[in-house]
Amino acid sequence: MRPAGTLLRSSPWLRLVTTFATTIIIATGAHAQDDVQEIDSVSGLIIDDAKRWQVVRVHCTACHSAKLITQIGLDRSAWEETVRWMQEEQGLWLLGKDEPKILDYLSEHYGAQRGTRLKRKNLD
């Protein structure tokens, strides 16, 4: 019977497989850490380095819950269309220089790739 650990030292194939598996585990763990997004504990919005989330929080949650943002996914043009609708129909003020920041943030963090919003046919 071989002493413990001798099989690993004596088998190049096993050593190669073990090294490969360890590398994959480490790489996957590092990648998973990169994907972790910090979430604001009050609003539930994703915190970004440019602090655009704060602009979104100030403008958007003045009228509605941030859950309306976090639960849907729209591309930039659909977010802009939604802003226009809110301005025309719901009394949303002009966003001025903050509008591009808001649209960039929304499309980046709550974009169409999230795809959770189901659109229904208009009720004409």
Give pLDDT tens digits for 23-76: 555 544 444 445 688 999 999 999 999 999 999 999 999 999 999 999 989 999
CA nearest to 91, candidates 65, 63, 55 = 63
Predicted TM-score (pTM) of the model is 0.65
- Residue 116 pLDDT class (50, 70, 90 cuts): very low
Given a cut of 90, is residue 118 above it in pLDDT?
no
* Three-state SS at 64: coil
Domain ranges of the chain: 6-35, 52-114
Radius of gyration of the CA atoms of the chain, in A:
24
Q: Count how many Cα atoms sit within 13 Å of the Cα of residue 35 in the half-sphere of its side chain.
A: 6
